[in-house]
Structure 1
Amino acid sequence: MSTCGRWPRWRPSSATTTPAWLSWRPAARGEKPLPELLAAYGKHTLERILVAAFGIISETGHGEMGPRLAELNADPQARLAFLLAEALRQQAVLAGDDLATAKHIGMSILGAVHAFTDADDSDALTLLRALRNEVLQSG
């Protein structure tokens, strides 16, 4: 893994391999289509990763919060990640239940997670599963 600026650069191991998560289908009746779920979980994941990367945690004091948020909002890579997440969410809404689109959205999200962490595919998938369970339990 090489670095670009302060973020590691990730390259997919194989763009032609169908990932295991693609065979997963929404189990609960009334659950949103897979592309929408992946985009929503990915957006939530990227936001959490970026906030943590800039040292913004629940214990961050009010005096520190402003400068850290300003740094986050000024960072071009962070802004691009937020833009990517929103673009994927918009694409997912139009995709419906299309699995090919779900695959591309999921691979984009995994790539973004890798860009901001040293997580491998297994770690990133574990994170996405945990977020799915968290969202389903809170809903």
Structure 2
Amino acid sequence: MLNIDLVDNLYASLSKEQQQNLCSLLFKNSKQTMNYFRRTKDISLSKLETLADFFHMPLDYFRLGNSFATNNVNGNNNYIGNVSLSNNLLIENDSLRKEVESLKETLKAKDEALKAKDDLIQAKTDYIEALKAQSSSK
């Protein structure tokens, strides 16, 4: 699956002209934007290759949960090609930070749902006990 946050961060770091160039490479004459990847949550191999070539990075780097690690990012002496490792790590850290926050929110929501379920069970148990006590007192 495509690491959409990484793609968004790399795209945001480009100048307007470079952004337009990348979009024209990816989407040809279509009026699509980079939001296409967030909407579809999918990418074809040809688009992934175009993206990887544009940023001079390996294909696996754009995969969610990749284990790609390197100390060498080669370029062709233009702004796009000189993406430094520290910049890549900052982008990746930001992406992971967002993912952790999302997981924390999901965990919090699950905890709240479990607490609501426990409260409901307790209320039903109390009600049953009250009914038993009422019927035994008659």
Q: Which structure has the larger Rg?
A: 2
Higher RCO structure (Cα 8 Å, ≥6 apart): 1
Q: Same fold (TM over 0.5)?
A: no
TM-score in terms of structure 2 length: 0.33
TM-score in terms of structure 1 length: 0.32
The structure that is strand-richer by fraction is 1
